[in-house]
Structure formats: C-alpha cells, structure tokens
Amino acid sequence: MGNVEKDFLLLREQNLLFYRYQLINACKKYLSQGSMTQNQFDQLSELHKIYNALGGNSQGDLYYNKTLALPINNDLEDDFEDFELHVTSKDMRAHENKKNKENEN
C-alpha cells in the first residue's frame, strides 16, 4: 500500500471518529434534556447517515436509536452547533464498494 492510500485511509478514519464523537455527544445531550427540536432531530439524522456511510459501527447506532424515542419539543432553544466537514463522493463510493463486496461474499 502506497503513501497516498495510507493517507486516504487515515483521513477516512479521522472523519469517522469525528462523526462518531459528534453523534454520540448530541445523543447524550438530547437524552439528558429529555427531548429535542425538529432541527436537532434533522441534524442528528444527518450525522447518523454520514456516520454509517463512513463505516460506523453499532456504538453510534445504539445511542441514535435511543434518542429517536424522544419527543420533539420545538419550544426548546435550538442551540445545535453547525459544523462543516467535507466527505467527498470518492469517500462515499469507496465505502459503498466495500459494502457491496462484503454483501457478495
């Protein structure tokens, strides 16, 4: 494996760790407050989608599924912090190809 491939895998792993951290911390916050706003729910769902697309495991899924049971309360102050991290379409295709190969076996 060349340096470019190693660098790519390292960046992908860093992205996965970042999204896991964001997902789990958001879930813990909403679980402790007992509800979430619609915007928080939408942001959380997007985090979960990207986390899984990057190869996230059941650790994030457990928190996410618990959080889905919370009621939506739009009277809460919506303080979800926006963040920007670019996951390229190449990252997504690589993950999809890996999943497809696993499913073929």
Which sequence spans correspond to the domains of the chain? 3-104
Per-residue b/e over 20-51, b at no fewer than 16 CB within 10 Å? Answer: bebbbebbeebeeeeebbeebbebbeebbebb
Q: What is the mean pLDDT of residues 50-70?
A: 93
pTM: 0.69
pLDDT tens, position by position, 2-41: 888 888 888 989 999 999 999 999 999 999 999 999 999 9
